[in-house]
Amino acid sequence: MKCMIDDLEKKGLIKKIKNREKQMKNSIDLVKRDLKVAKSMLCDNNDWAYNIIYNSILQAIKALMCSEVIVLLQKAPI
């Protein structure tokens, strides 16, 4: 696994995340905020609430990547 990560980093496809804990906390804070806002909007504007929920899912995934993978994809491989 380490060799694969090093190879991907050398190719410029990924980079190591700096300040992982700070990025994780920021992402989790955004998830909490977005879910609170979406819940308050659910009865009035379903479409917008679902968009906000979708964004919170993306932020949760980002937090998971910061905690487990330690690398962030920079561009898709060709």
- For the chain, domain boundaries: 2-73
| Count of other CB atoms within 10 angstroms of residue 61 | 12
- For the record, the structure tokens of 25 come out as 């906390």
Q: What's residue 78's pLDDT?
A: 47
Closest to 28 (Cα-Cα) out of 54, 59, 71: 59
What predicted TM-score, i.e. pTM, was given to this entire model?
Answer: 0.66
Q: What are phi and psi of 45, to 5 degrees?
A: -145, 85
Per-residue model confidence (pLDDT) at position 57:
94
| pLDDT class of 69 with cuts at 50, 70, 90 | low
Identify the band that residue 49 occupies on the pLDDT scale cut at 50, 70 and 90.
Answer: very high
| Mean pLDDT along residues 31-38 | 94
Q: What are phi and psi of 63, to 5 degrees?
A: -65, -40
The pLDDT, as a whole number, for residue 50 is 93
